[in-house]
Structure 1
Amino acid sequence: MKNYIKLFLLSAMIILSNIPADANWIGSENDISINAEIRNTQYTQSTQHTPHSNRDSLPEGVTKEWLNSLTDERGQKIVQPEEGGDAMQERFFTGFAAGDLFGTSISSAGDVNGDGYSDLIIGAPLNDAAGASAGRAYIYYGGTIINSVVDVVLTGLAAGDQFGISVSTAGDVNGDGYSDVIVGANGNDAGGSNAGRAYIFFGGSSMNNVADIILTGAAVSDNFGTSVSSAGDVNGDGYSDVIVGANFNDAGGTNAGRAYIYFGGSSMNNVADINLTGAAASDNFGTSVSTAGDVNGDGFSDVIVGASSNDAGGTNAGRAYVYFGGSSMNDIADVLLTGEAASDGLGISVATAGDVNGDGYSDLIVGANLNDAGGSNAGRAYVYFGGSVMNNVADVTLTGVAVSDQFGISVSTAGDLNGDGYSDVIAGANLNDAGGASAGRAYVYFGGNLMDSTADVLLTGAAANDQYGSSVSTAGDMNGDGYSDLIIGADQNDAGGSSAGRVYLYDYFMKNEIIPDLSMTGASGNRFGYSVSSAGDVNGDGYSDVIVGAFGYSSNTGRAYIHFGGPSMDNTEDVTMTGEAISNFFGVSVSSAGDVNGDGFSDVIVGAYRYSSDTGRAYIYFGGTSMDNIADVTMTGVAEFTNFGISVSSAGDVNGDGYSDVIVGAVGYSSSTGRAYIFLGGASMNNTADVTMTGETTFNEFGESVSSAGDVNSDGYSDVIVGAAGYSSSTGRAYAYFGGALNE
Structure 2
Amino acid sequence: MSCAQRLPHLHGQPPMRLTTTLLALVCVPALALAQGREPTQRHVNGIPQQSGGFGIHTEALGDLDGDGWPDWAVAANNFQVLPGQSLGRVYAYSGRSGALIRTFDGDQVGADFGLSMADVGDVNGDGVRDLAIGSPSYNVSGLGNNTGRVTCFSGADASVLWTTDGDEAFANFGKHLEPLGSTASGAPHLAVAQPGWDTPSLGGAGRIVSLSADDGLYAGHVEGDLALRGLGTTMASYPETALVYAGTNHGAVYDASWVTGAHAATELISASGPADFVTLAMLSGPAGGGPMRFAMGKRSADTSGLANNGTIEVFSLGGGLPLLTIEGSHSNSSVGLSMAGVRDSDGDGDDELVYIEQGTAFNQPGTLRVIDLETGAVLDELLDIQGSTSFASINDVSGDGRGEWIASVDGGTAQVYEARLFSQGMSRTPGGAGLGGFTTTFDIDLGPGHAGRTYGQLYSFSGASPGTVGAPGWPLAALNLDADTITILGLFGTPLFPDAFGTLDGAGRTTTLMTFTPHITNLAAGMEMTTVAFALDATDTDVVVASNPQTYVVE
What's the TM-score once normalised by structure 1's chain length?
Answer: 0.51
Matched-pair contact (CA < 8 Å) for 1:234–1:302: no
Question: Which residue does the alignment assign to 2:424?
Answer: 508
Q: Give 1:91 shift.
A: 2.9
Please tell me the root mean square deviation across aligned C-alpha atoms, in Å. 3.7
Q: Quickly say closer, same or farther: Cα 1:333–1:646, change in 2 above 3 A.
A: closer
Question: Which residue does the alignment assign to 1:303?
Answer: 244
Matched, 1:256 2:205: yes
Distance 1:650 1:334 in 2: 63
Q: What SS is found at the alignment partner of 2:114?
A: strand
Matched-pair contact (CA < 8 Å) for 1:405–1:433: yes
**1:561-600 CA deviation, whole Å, 9 max, x = no partner?**
xxxxxxxxxxxxxxxxxxxxxxxxxx979xxxxxxxxxxx
**1:276-327 CA deviation, whole Å, 9 max, x = no partner?**
2222222122112222468xxxxx6211111122xxxxxxxx111113455x
Matched, 1:218 2:167: yes
Matched-pair contact (CA < 8 Å) for 2:296–2:314: yes
Distance 2:301 2:193 in 1: 23
Distance 2:227 2:495 in 1: 80
Q: 474, 485, 498: which one pairs with 2:404?
A: 485
Q: 266, 273, 277: which one pairs with 1:341?
A: 273
Distance 2:484 2:379 in 1: 43
Q: Give 1:341 shift.
A: 1.2
Matched-pair contact (CA < 8 Å) for 1:428–1:471: no
Q: Give 1:476 shift.
A: 2.0
Matched, 1:396 2:324: yes
Distance 2:262 2:363 in 1: 46
Q: Give 1:518 shift.
A: 5.3
Distance 2:488 2:102 in 1: 42
Q: 167, 183, 194: which one pairs with 1:246?
A: 194
Q: Give 1:136 shift.
A: 1.0
Q: Give 1:506 shift.
A: 0.2
Amino acid at match of 2:325: T
Distance 1:118 1:480 in 2: 11
Distance 2:42 2:63 in 1: 21
Amino acid at match of 1:471: S
Matched-pair contact (CA < 8 Å) for 1:378–1:407: yes
Q: 48, 59, 63: which one pairs with 1:111?
A: 63
Q: Give 1:87 shift.
A: 3.7
Matched, 1:545 2:498: no
Distance 1:517 1:115 in 2: 35
Distance 1:93 1:319 in 2: 36
The 5 Å alignment of 1:79-94 reads 83-85=35-37, 87-94=39-46
**1:79-104 CA deviation, whole Å, 9 max, x = no partner?**
xxx82347433531113412211111
Amino acid at match of 2:178: S
Q: Quickly say closer, same or farther: Cα 1:126–1:199, change in 2 above 3 A.
A: same
Distance 1:432 1:545 in 2: 37
Matched-pair contact (CA < 8 Å) for 2:220–2:258: no
Q: Quickly say closer, same or farther: Cα 1:174–1:401, change in 2 above 3 A.
A: farther
Distance 1:407 1:370 in 2: 8
Q: Quickly say closer, same or farther: Cα 1:225–1:650, change in 2 above 3 A.
A: closer
Matched-pair contact (CA < 8 Å) for 1:89–1:509: no
Matched, 1:458 2:458: no
Question: Which residue does the alignment assign to 2:474?
Answer: none
Matched-pair contact (CA < 8 Å) for 1:109–1:180: no
Amino acid at match of 1:107: E
Question: Which residue does the alignment assign to 2:547?
Answer: none
Amino acid at match of 1:419: G
Q: Quickly say closer, same or farther: Cα 1:545–1:132, change in 2 above 3 A.
A: same
The 5 Å alignment of 1:195-594 reads 195-203=147-155, 207-235=156-184, 237=186, 239-251=187-199, 253-264=202-213, 268-292=214-238, 301-309=242-250, 318-324=251-257, 326=259, 328=260, 331-343=263-275, 345-347=276-278, 349-356=279-286, 358-373=288-303, 375-386=306-317, 390-429=318-357, 431-433=358-360, 437-447=363-373, 451-462=374-385, 466-467=386-387, 470-492=389-411, 498=415, 501-510=417-426, 516=429, 544-546=436-438
Matched-pair contact (CA < 8 Å) for 1:156–1:163: yes
Q: What SS is found at the alignment partner of 1:483?
A: coil
Distance 2:359 2:492 in 1: 54
Q: Give 1:138 shift.
A: 0.7
Matched-pair contact (CA < 8 Å) for 2:138–2:147: yes
Q: 184, 188, 192: which one pairs with 2:134?
A: 184
Q: Quickly say closer, same or farther: Cα 1:461–1:236, change in 2 above 3 A.
A: farther
Matched-pair contact (CA < 8 Å) for 1:166–1:184: yes
Question: Which residue does the alignment assign to 2:104?
Answer: 154
Matched-pair contact (CA < 8 Å) for 1:445–1:454: yes
Q: What SS is found at the alignment partner of 2:376?
A: coil
Amino acid at match of 2:206: G
**1:688-728 CA deviation, whole Å, 9 max, x = no partner?**
xxxxxxxxxxxxxxxxx9x9xxxxxxxxxxxxxxxxxxxxx
Q: What SS is found at the alignment partner of 1:164?
A: coil
Matched-pair contact (CA < 8 Å) for 2:179–2:239: no
Distance 1:88 1:100 in 2: 27
Structure 1 unaligned regions, length at least 5 = 1-81, 295-299, 310-317, 521-534, 549-586, 590-642, 662-704, 708-744
Amino acid at match of 1:108: A
Q: What SS is found at the alignment partner of 2:348?
A: coil
Question: Which residue does the alignment assign to 1:580?
Answer: none
Q: Quickly say closer, same or farther: Cα 1:323–1:292, change in 2 above 3 A.
A: farther
The 5 Å alignment of 1:6-25 reads none
Matched-pair contact (CA < 8 Å) for 1:202–1:212: yes
Matched-pair contact (CA < 8 Å) for 2:208–2:256: no
Q: 75, 86, 101: which one pairs with 1:123?
A: 75
Distance 2:289 2:338 in 1: 25
Q: Give 1:653 shift.
A: 12
Q: Quickly say closer, same or farther: Cα 1:376–1:271, change in 2 above 3 A.
A: same
Distance 2:189 2:160 in 1: 16
The 5 Å alignment of 1:95-106 reads 95-106=47-58
Amino acid at match of 1:507: S
Q: Give 1:335 shift.
A: 4.8
Amino acid at match of 1:404: N
Distance 1:461 1:254 in 2: 42
Matched-pair contact (CA < 8 Å) for 1:162–1:185: yes
Q: 86, 89, 95: which one pairs with 1:133?
A: 86
Matched-pair contact (CA < 8 Å) for 1:95–1:101: no
Q: Quickly say closer, same or farther: Cα 1:367–1:173, change in 2 above 3 A.
A: farther
**1:661-689 CA deviation, whole Å, 9 max, x = no partner?**
9xxxxxxxxxxxxxxxxxxxxxxxxxxxx
Q: Give 1:174 shift.
A: 6.0
**1:64-87 CA deviation, whole Å, 9 max, x = no partner?**
xxxxxxxxxxxxxxxxxx823474
Distance 2:243 2:492 in 1: 66
Matched-pair contact (CA < 8 Å) for 2:224–2:265: no
Amino acid at match of 2:376: S
Distance 2:243 2:488 in 1: 58
Q: What SS is found at the alignment partner of 1:491?
A: strand
Amino acid at match of 1:546: F
What's the TM-score once normalised by structure 2's chain length?
Answer: 0.68
Q: Give 1:110 shift.
A: 1.5
Q: Give 1:213 shift.
A: 2.0
**1:609-656 CA deviation, whole Å, 9 max, x = no partner?**
xxxxxxxxxxxxxxxxxxxxxxxxxxxxxxxxxx998986595699xx
Distance 1:405 1:279 in 2: 32
Distance 2:413 2:51 in 1: 9
Q: Quickly say closer, same or farther: Cα 1:472–1:519, change in 2 above 3 A.
A: farther
Q: Give 1:255 shift.
A: 2.9
Q: Quickly say closer, same or farther: Cα 1:83–1:223, change in 2 above 3 A.
A: same
For this pair of structures, how many residues does the alignment match? 425
Q: Quickly say closer, same or farther: Cα 1:201–1:481, change in 2 above 3 A.
A: farther
Q: Give 1:483 shift.
A: 1.7
Distance 1:270 1:341 in 2: 38
